[in-house]
Amino acid sequence: MKILTNKRIILGVCGSIAAYKAPDIVRRLQDLGAEVRVILTQSGAQFITELSLQVTSKNKVHHNLWDKEAELSMGHIEMGKWADAILIAPASANTIANVAEGRACDLLNSVILASDCPLIIAPAMNQQMYSAAAVQGNLTTLTLRNIHIIKPEIGVQACGDIGEGRLAESKEIAEQVGRLFQNTELSGKKVLITLGATIEAIDPVRYLSNHSSGKMGSALADACIEAGAQVTLVVGNIGIDLNQKARKISTVSAQEMHQKVMENIADQDIFIACAAVSDYSIKNPEKNKIKKSGKNLTLTLLPTKDILKDVCALSTKPICIGFAAETQNLTENAINKMKYKGCDAIIMNDVSRDDLGFKSDENEVIFFTKNFQLKMIKNSKQKLGRKIIKLVVEKFI
């Protein structure tokens, strides 16, 4: 899996002669696995065509804050939520000043204000402009705000001057964006995650299961790996590819998932129960296909073992995080479930909504501990996964 796989990057392209390099930056980000959407400022459009950026990014280029059609499909608020990171390359002195002052003067600046994702700025301009006290002052302001600046290179400039102000190499810019997602918050820690749906056989061809896709568990695994953890995944039925850096143990039934978790839990620091485990299995599944008889058929269901509860009951237990899928009384059910299972935190999904949860790439959750709760509004599972893991680190590590 590449360093930017599953990452959505907005590339802001400003008015600088270096804008001609923007399609190459798009390509280098894509080489690392990213999906890229471009916002082209009015001045940027003087140096590079929308078409070149549309063809390379394979997405419509965004440029106008007041475009009614764009607002209907993906307006500035939606774009801000969509992005995992915003990169401005090349960044002009004007855009740097606008970002430093928090202006919402155009689409790019509005999206930046409407997003809580990391911002990376790669300035490119004439060496005299770059060294101007106002530009340097604005860059210092941005650095103090934890905005990542990719310093320009020293060399011959388009205008013939020699000095500091040449846009950094496209490959280097893309790699610095990738490195921003890596951290060491879980380095040396072991995390075991269950994910996907369990399958309970009725006969050799039919089964009981549910709609879980494994996407939330997979996003959590990606976030733990980015944070430096050693990740083991105990996987049920899923329809997605998993991070190759994780150790994967495949299971089918709730009983098998329980067994594999118990066999592998001893040295784990964190356990995340994200699988949709069947609460019941079929008593004595038929060895042969059940024939249609035209009469009522009664199946006897037996309760399955509760994996999360059993891990929480271990004498030396890891930090235990559960998930709950509910359709009503979310807060009350979450708190009761946390007590009943004995886990340290529970993450509540509202599965009554069609646009969220099961199968969807998006989710909206509430994170509960005994004395804390935080609603994480609708966003991609990837982004929520990172937020959840950050919170787990903050609360328990």
Give me the active site residues, please. 159
**Which residue number, 171 or 305, has a Cβ lying nearer to ligand C5P?**
305
What CA–CA distances, in Å, run from 13 to 61, 68, 107, 193, 395? 10, 22, 11, 39, 38
* 322 sits near ligand C5P (criterion: CB under 6 A): yes
Structure tokens at 136: 């340097």
**CB contact at 8 A, 359 and 382:** no
**Which residue number, 89 or 311, has a Cβ lying nearer to ligand C5P?**
311
**CB contact at 8 A, 239 and 226:** no
* 273 sits near ligand C5P (criterion: CB under 6 A): yes
* 271 sits near ligand C5P (criterion: CB under 6 A): no
For the bound state, the minimum distance from the C-beta of residue 202 to ligand C5P, rounded and expressed in Å, comes to: 18
Q: Which among 255, 259, 296, 292 has a CA at the least distance from the CA of 277?
A: 255
* 233 sits near ligand C5P (criterion: CB under 6 A): no
Which residues are CB-contacts of 350 (< 8 A; sequence separation ≥ 6)?
326, 327, 330, 356, 357, 364
**CB contact at 8 A, 218 and 178:** no
Site residues for ligand C5P, window 274-303 (CB under 6 A)?
A: 275, 277, 279
**CB contact at 8 A, 300 and 348:** no
**Which residue number, 148 or 309, has a Cβ lying nearer to ligand C5P?**
309
SS3 316: coil
* 214 sits near ligand C5P (criterion: CB under 6 A): no
Stretch that binds ligand C5P, among 44-52, 203-211, 282-290, 305-313 (CB under 6 A): 305-313
* 135 sits near ligand C5P (criterion: CB under 6 A): no
* 349 sits near ligand C5P (criterion: CB under 6 A): no
For the bound state, the minimum distance from the C-beta of residue 225 to ligand C5P, rounded and expressed in Å, comes to: 20
For the bound state, the minimum distance from the C-beta of residue 86 to ligand C5P, rounded and expressed in Å, comes to: 33
For the bound state, the minimum distance from the C-beta of residue 334 to ligand C5P, rounded and expressed in Å, comes to: 10
> What is d(CA 69, CA 72) in angstroms, rounded to the nearest whole number?
5
Tell me which residues touch ligand C5P (CB under 6 A): 194, 254, 273, 275, 277, 279, 304, 306-308, 322-324, 337
